[in-house]
Structure 1
Amino acid sequence: MNRLLIVAIIVVFLLLGLRIAQKYERAIVFRLGRYVGQRGPGLYWIIPFIERRVTVDIRTKTVELEQQETITKDSVPSR
Structure 2
Amino acid sequence: MDQTDKKVLLLELGVGEMTPSIIKLPFWELTAKNENVFYACLNQESSHRPEHLRGRSLYLQGDLAESLAALRQERSIAANIK
Shorter-chain TM band: under 0.3
Give TM-score, length-normalised by structure 1. 0.22
Bigger-Rg structure (1/2): 1
Give TM-score, length-normalised by structure 2. 0.22
- Which structure has more strand as a fraction of its residues? 1
